[in-house]
């Protein structure tokens, strides 16, 4: 009988405000709800080893007309992972927060997803659901202004979905 090892998910976020941390914690709860192991880290604390040893990545960043300069620097500092294929095939997802409904949330998500795709990662989004009428995006979890219960639920759903896809891809 094969022993199933739980997958590990790195929830990595750039903390520029408490709203992004709220979503990160909710996403981590979603990961844990599936039995997966979560490694919740701010970009200032994370290492390349954290990224390489994780079975999946959940990347979060507040919207500052796109991703923050500090997260861009962290991603750039990881080197040529896109070229050596270290992350190819790993599932990944994104989340963001912003001050306004049309303040560039999708652009921020797409910038994170672009990096993931460049690394050959398998991007995991959210399927359409009624919650999206008032909160969120299928590109990733979002919050606008004050974080709502619906925003937190969407982040939990994304964390759980990423863990489930990671388990399927690793055969766990």
Beta-carbon contacts of 84 under 8 Å, excluding residues fewer than 6 positions away, are none
pTM of the full structure:
0.93
Beta-carbon contacts of 136 under 8 Å, excluding residues fewer than 6 positions away, are 126, 142, 150, 151, 154
Q: Which of 9, 63, 13 is nearest to 38 (CA)?
A: 9
**Could you count the other beta carbons within 10 Å of the beta carbon of residue 89?**
11
Of the candidate ranges 26-40, 64-78, 122-136, the one whose mean pLDDT is the lowest? 122-136
Beta-carbon contacts of 165 under 8 Å, excluding residues fewer than 6 positions away, are 56, 91, 122, 124
All domains of the chain in start order, with CATH: 8-170 (3.40.50.360)
What's residue 1's pLDDT?
34
Of the candidate ranges 15-24, 40-49, 105-114, 157-166, the one whose mean pLDDT is the lowest? 15-24
Residue 20, pLDDT above cutoff 50: yes
Residue 3: pLDDT band with limits 50, 70, 90: very low
**Could you count the other beta carbons within 10 Å of the beta carbon of residue 52?**
13
Residue 131, pLDDT above cutoff 90: no
């Amino acid at each position: 009988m094969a022993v199933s090892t739980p997958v590990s998910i790195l929830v990595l976020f750039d903390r520029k405000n408490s709203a992004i941390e709220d979503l990160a914690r909710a996403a981590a709860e979603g990961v844990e709800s599936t039995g997966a192991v979560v490694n919740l880290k701010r970009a200032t604390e994370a290492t390349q080893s954290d990224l390489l040893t994780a079975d999946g990545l959940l990347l979060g960043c507040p919207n500052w007309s796109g991703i923050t300069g500090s997260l861009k620097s962290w991603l750039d500092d990881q080197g040529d992972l896109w070229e050596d294929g270290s992350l190819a095939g790993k599932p990944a997802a994104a989340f963001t927060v912003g001050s306004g409904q049309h303040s560039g949330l999708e652009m921020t998500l797409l910038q994170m997803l672009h990096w993931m795709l460049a690394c050959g990662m398998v991007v995991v989004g959210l399927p359409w659901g009624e919650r999206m009428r008032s909160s969120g995006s299928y590109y990733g979890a979002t919050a606008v202004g004050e974080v709502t219960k619906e925003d937190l639920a969407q982040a939990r759903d994304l964390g759980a979905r990423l863990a489930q896809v990671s388990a399927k891809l690793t055969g766990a």
